[in-house]
């Protein structure tokens, strides 16, 4: 009996071994491969490959919350049409933006597609219409060309001051067709044909070849970038006509400027000083890019101090600006800035239509103290002093709007609290 049991157990074991070996040789069902998101380090931090493609994508944006306070001040020139504000005002401001940056490497270079959408709303002096999204940027770059809505090629200074996005300037970029050539050794040059209607919101005056048609403002710059900093010269020119209501005149305009930025690592890592100077004739709205886009560079028709409604876009003027950033520690920094603008509106700018001789000056001084408890998160306080003055020679009427003789001068302090998170 024991012998029979041993034979049976041995036979069963042999059969199981053979069956297992045959089963191992049979084809089996394999699970589908898993596509993991891969990091793309070719273009910097934050990029990843879109699964199944060779395109790298970075998604980002920011949320900004501001509180603005302006104490009451004496009404120094409440005459005629001049409506100086003399009461205490305050307001809240919220902005949210999201961006997408997609890049693909080709045999001819990188193709970049970038877009940023923004929504904002506010109250008091920071009131904004936030019900419709604003397109800050939407462009395609390839082989040195930029097609679409991108940053103003004339601009140079960094947007450090909290005031930067409140007044004039180009928060929504400039529609353009541009080409940038890199020469090597840190030199590069850009030439761009920009849509003249971009300048209307800044200046209050349409720049067009004929009434109802868009014109072109040509903009160019030459840059030199090194480890010590950057330098730039820039220029702009247009031969479009001035269109103000029914009056139209063909007259060219131009702007020229220069900027210098120097890194100051001997003081602290990240320290930097920036300087800029611009002269403009007719394209005076470009002065805003040299003066940090603060109220001193704003068209006086939208003077934040409540000044007279007179546009200086078609006159001439110059502006000077300087700003410095200093890190007291890796998480605490100061930002100081100053700007000065002088503008003049010439009699006879509009042929056949009575105009007015007027001039104005303005300047701003500001300091901000910012704490960054972690990367991309800022909590800051900023105090700015503003002063604007205006002189007008005589009563004139231009295409339905009336100005009055006299002078205007006003000043104010503006305090701001900002909390911002970039991601």
Look at residue 328 and tell me if it is in a domain.
yes
pLDDT at 408: 61
Global confidence as pTM: 0.78
SS3 readout for 140-185 = EEECCEEEEEECCCCCCCCCCCHHHHCCCCCCCCEEEEEEEEEEEC
Burial of 62 (0-12, 13-18, 19+ CB in 10 A): middle
- What are the structure tokens assigned to 234, written together? 């820039």
Alpha carbons 383 and 376: distance in angstroms, whole number: 22
Q: Is residue 162 part of a domain?
A: yes
Number of independent structural domains in the chain: 1
Residue 350 has pLDDT above 50, yes or no: no
CA 180 to chain centre: 19
CB 197 within 8 A of CB 172: no
- What is the percent of the chain where pLDDT is above 70? 62
Q: Is residue 69 part of a domain?
A: yes
Query: 373: domain CATH number?
Result: 2.40.160.10
pLDDT in tens, 258-284: 999 999 999 999 999 999 999 988 776
- For residue 342, pLDDT over 60 is answered with yes
What is the span of the domain harbouring residue 106?
A: 61-422
Q: Is residue 75 part of a domain?
A: yes
The pLDDT value given to residue 211: 43
Nearby residues of 199 by Cβ (< 8 Å), 6 or more positions away: 207, 217, 283, 285, 313
Bridge partners (DSSP) of residue 13 are: none
Position 53 pLDDT exceeds 80: yes
Give the mean pLDDT of the chain. Answer: 75
Judged by average pLDDT, the poorest of 42-56, 87-101, 246-260, 324-338 is: 246-260
Query: What was the pLDDT predicted at 61?
Result: 95
Does the residue 13 lie in any domain? no
Asked whether residue 241 carries a pLDDT value surpassing 60, the answer given is: no
Instruction: Decide which of 419 and 291 is more confident.
Output: 419
Q: How far apart are CA 361 and CA 58, in angstroms?
A: 43
Q: Which residue has the tokens 């693909």?
A: 104
Instruction: List, as one string, the DSSP characters of 9-21.
Output: HHHHHHHHHHHHH
Average pLDDT over residues 229-244: 79
Asked whether the predicted pLDDT for residue 293 surpasses 50, the reply is no
Residue 241 lies in a domain: yes
More confident: 321 or 304: 321
């Amino acid at each position: 009996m024991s012998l029979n049991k041993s034979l049976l157990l041995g036979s069963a074991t042999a059969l199981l071994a053979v069956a297992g070996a045959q089963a191992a040789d049979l084809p089996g069902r394999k699970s589908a491969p898993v596509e993991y998101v891969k990091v793309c380090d070719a273009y910097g931090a934050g990029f990843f490959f879109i699964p199944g493609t060779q395109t790298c994508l970075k998604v980002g944006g920011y949320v900004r919350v501001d509180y603005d306070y302006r104490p009451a001040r004496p009404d120094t020139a409440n005459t005629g049409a001049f409506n100086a504000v003399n009461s205490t005002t305050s307001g809240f401001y919220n902005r949210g933006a999201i961006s997408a940056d997609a890049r693909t490497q080709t045999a001819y270079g990188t193709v970049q597609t970038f877009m940023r959408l923004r929504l904002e709303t506010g109250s008091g002096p920071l009131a904004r219409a936030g019900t419709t999204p604003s397109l800050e940027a939407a462009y395609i770059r390839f082989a040195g060309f930029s097609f679409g809505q991108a940053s103003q090629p004339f601009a140079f200074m960094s947007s450090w001051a909290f005031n930067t996005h409140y007044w004039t300037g180009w928060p929504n970029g400039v529609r353009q067709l541009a080409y940038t050539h890199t020469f090597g050794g840190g030199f590069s040059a850009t030439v761009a044909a920009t849509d003249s209607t971009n300048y209307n919101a800044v200046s209050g005056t349409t720049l067009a070849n004929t009434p109802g048609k868009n014109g072109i403002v040509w903009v160019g710059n030459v840059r030199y970038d090194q480890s010590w900093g950057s330098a730039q010269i820039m220029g702009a020119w247009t031969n479009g006509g001035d269109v103000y209501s029914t009056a139209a005149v063909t007259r060219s305009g131009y702007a020229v400027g220069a900027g210098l930025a120097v890194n100051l690592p001997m003081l602290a890592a990240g320290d930097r000083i920036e300087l800029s100077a611009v002269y403009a004739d007719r394209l005076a709205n470009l002065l805003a890019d040299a003066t940090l886009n603060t109220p001193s560079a704003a068209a006086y028709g939208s003077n934040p101090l409540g000044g007279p409604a007179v546009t200086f876009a078609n006159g001439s003027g110059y502006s000077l600006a300087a700003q410095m950033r200093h890190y007291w520690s890796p998480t605490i920094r100061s930002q100081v800035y100053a700007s000065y603008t002088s503008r003049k509106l010439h009699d006879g700018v509009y042929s056949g239509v009575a105009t007015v001789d007027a001039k104005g000056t303005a300047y701003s001084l500001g300091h901000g103290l910012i704490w960054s408890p972690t990367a991309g998160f800022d909590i800051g306080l900023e105090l700015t002093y503003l002063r604007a003055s205006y002189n007008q020679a005589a009563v004139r009427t231009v295409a339905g709007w009336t100005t009055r003789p006299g002078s205007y001068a006003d000043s104010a302090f503006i305090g701001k609290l900002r909390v911002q998170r970039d991601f």
